């Protein structure tokens, strides 16, 4: 029975990875969708969102911990990178000198993040499929 538990344990780890990467994919999509929003309800340009992951740790019987997957710690604003400033006096959100502040979203960077998140999601999905195939084989052996 311990082998079956280990099998499901591996499936749970892969599932946590897929869940976390899904949040990252959604966040990247939101960033791309808001890449040109110069004024939010707060009156500032849209600020890029960043997903932070953290490990899920499991306590071992003899003491210590082991990795049991990953989860989203937070989705927070990227306060490190500055807004883009473009001179466009005709823009409705231009300041008195004609400068417009655009979001700190770089679509090339976002696309790279999207590709990375999609590949990580696919890798977790393949691991999950591998666990399912192993479980099916184990059930056939027990028949």
pLDDT band for position 5 (50/70/90)?
low
Q: What distance in Å separates the CA atoms of residue 7 and residue 43, rounded to the nearest whole number?
A: 51
DSSP lists the bridge partners of residue 72 as: 53
- The confidence score (pLDDT) of residue 3 equals 58
Non-local CB neighbours of 129 within 8 Å, separated by 6+ positions: none
Return the domain boundaries, the chain: 2-142
Judged on CB neighbours under 10 Å (0-12, 13-18, 19+), 62 is exposed
Q: Which residues of 4-39 are buried (b: 16+ CB within 10 A; e: fewer)?
A: eeeeeebbebbbbbbebbeebbebbebbeebbeebe
Is a pLDDT exceeding 60 seen at residue 1?
Answer: no
Tens digits of residue pLDDT in 80-137: 999 999 999 999 999 999 999 999 999 999 999 999 999 999 999 999 999 888 888 8
The answer to whether 75 and 23 are in contact (CB under 8 A) is yes
pLDDT at 30: 98
Confidence label for 59 from pLDDT (cuts 50, 70 and 90): confident
Helix or strand holding residue 104 (H, E): none
pLDDT band at 43; cut points 50, 70, 90: very high
């Amino acid at each position: 029975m311990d082998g079956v538990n280990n099998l499901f344990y591996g499936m749970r780890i892969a599932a946590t990875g897929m869940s976390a990467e899904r949040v990252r994919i959604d966040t990247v999509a939101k960033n791309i969708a808001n890449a040109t929003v110069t004024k939010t309800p707060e009156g500032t340009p849209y600020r890029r969102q960043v997903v932070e992951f953290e490990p899920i740790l499991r306590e071992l019987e003899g003491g210590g911990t082991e990795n049991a997957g990953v989860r989203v710690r937070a989705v927070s604003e990227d306060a490190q990178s500055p807004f883009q400033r473009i001179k466009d006096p005709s823009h409705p959100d231009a300041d008195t000198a004609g400068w417009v502040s655009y979001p700190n979203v770089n679509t090339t960077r976002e696309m790279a993040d999207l590709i990375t998140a999609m590949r990580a999601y696919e890798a977790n999905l393949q691991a999950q499929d591998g666990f399912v195939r192993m479980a099916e084989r184990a059930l056939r052996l027990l028949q």
